[in-house]
Amino acid sequence: MSWTAADIPDLSGRTAVVTGANGGLGVETASVLAARGAHVVMAVRNQEKAADAIARIRRETPEASLELVDLDLGSLASIRAAADTIIAANEKVDILVNNAGVMATPERETADGFEMQLGVNHLGHWALTAHLMPTLLAAPGARVVSVTSTAHHMGTPLDPRNPHLGGTYNPWKAYGQSKLANYHFALGLQREFERAGVTAQSLMAHPGLSHTDLQVVTEREGGVGASGPLWRWLAARTGMTPADGAMPQLRAATDPAARGGELYGPRYANFGPPVRLPLLRPGADGAIAILWQVSERETGIPMRIEP
């Protein structure tokens, strides 16, 4: 039988942080976690959309326990402030879903001078995870879920001399690089958890082709030229609903049988029920080591895991 939201155990007493919880996969993830009893911290940039998302969740689950935190993953200062707010209000974080992201944007920089896709999709989540680490380690068996993409297969490991692709930028090249960084981050973080002897686990998920605002924004911003309308059309005609697309990350976050280092995604590559997938590109130790080196160097934030 296929795994569904009905298989999620009672999450009462647990705290979950979901980035980008104001739309798409994020709001679906937040909604299901809240319905199963978790206190959900919705860490989002667009506060207007967040208000609509909260109203929708409360219509579905009137008793939902929700907390809204302002988070701009393109700003290290915003990430620090958001983490401080979360830590001040919560003694522990049981689930962190690093869901937010951008796709195939025109070349631009974050507030800290990072290439936007690497900055938001990976470096921003690196910084948030590092800041929240004490509260994650305070929870028994906490889970960090990194949301990657099948596009990680077209990505290349970071070049420490030019991680922001200066002079070589291409929207899909940058997206693939950022999604491979998510993949390597999840694997590397699990290794660090095991090395430290803690109970926290790092898993990853990908949503396949889901019909969300991601494709609409990509087309509107014009970063990929003529292929933008094609991807929007494919998502609209063949993509899964956001609710179905969120199932892999929900399974990674909540399935008691899931284990650190595992990848969850649709059974049939881009669609289907959420299943554990083989690690077809586990990544060399060198690529993960470089990711750690570059991430710490660029953000100035080490990933400290102290039991």
What are the tens digits of pLDDT across the range 168-216? 999 999 999 999 999 999 999 999 999 999 999 999 999 988 666 665 5
pLDDT at 285: 87
Pair of tokens at residue 132: 């929240």
Catalytic: which of 169, 175, 183, 264? 175
pLDDT band (50, 70, 90) for residue 10: very high
Task: Name the DSSP letter for residue 139.
Answer: S
Determine how many CB atoms are found less than 10 A away from the CB of residue 243.
16
Contact 298, 163 (CB under 8 A): yes
Beta bridge partners, 145, equal: 97, 203
Domain boundaries, the chain: 12-208+243-297
CB 254 within 8 A of CB 36: yes
Smallest CA-to-CA distance from 186 within 124, 93, 122 is with: 122
Q: Are 30 and 57 in contact (CB under 8 A)?
A: yes
Asked whether the predicted pLDDT for residue 252 surpasses 80, the reply is yes
pLDDT at position 230: 59
- Strand 95-98 relative to strand 15-19: parallel, antiparallel, unpaired? parallel
Is residue 270 pLDDT above 90, yes or no?
Answer: no
Position 195 scores a pLDDT of 97
Query: For the residues 113-120, what does the mean pLDDT come to?
Result: 98
* Mean pLDDT lowest among 62-66, 103-107, 233-237, 294-298: 233-237
Q: Who contacts 251 (Cβ-Cβ below 8 Å, separation ≥6)?
A: 3, 205, 258, 264, 274
Q: Is the C-alpha dihedral spanning 270, 275, 280, 283 positive or negative?
A: positive
What pLDDT digit, counting tens, does each position of 34-81 carry? Answer: 999 999 999 999 999 999 999 999 999 999 999 999 999 999 999 999
Which pLDDT does position 222 carry in this prediction?
56
Check residue 256 and give its pLDDT.
Answer: 98
Indicate if the alpha-carbon torsion angle 125, 178, 26, 266 is positive or negative.
negative
Pairing mode of beta strands 65-70, 15-19:
unpaired
DSSP string, 186-247: HHHHHHHHHHHT-S-EEEEE---SB-SHHHHHHHHHTTTTTHHHHHHHHHHHHPBPHHHHTH
Q: Determine the pLDDT at residue 93.
A: 98
Q: What is the pLDDT of residue 220?
A: 54
Q: Is the pLDDT of residue 224 over 60?
A: no
Q: What local confidence, expressed as pLDDT, does residue 142 receive?
A: 98
> What's the fold here for domain 12-208+243-297?
Rossmann fold (3.40.50)
Residue 217 has a pLDDT of 53
Active site residue 175: yes
pLDDT at 262: 98
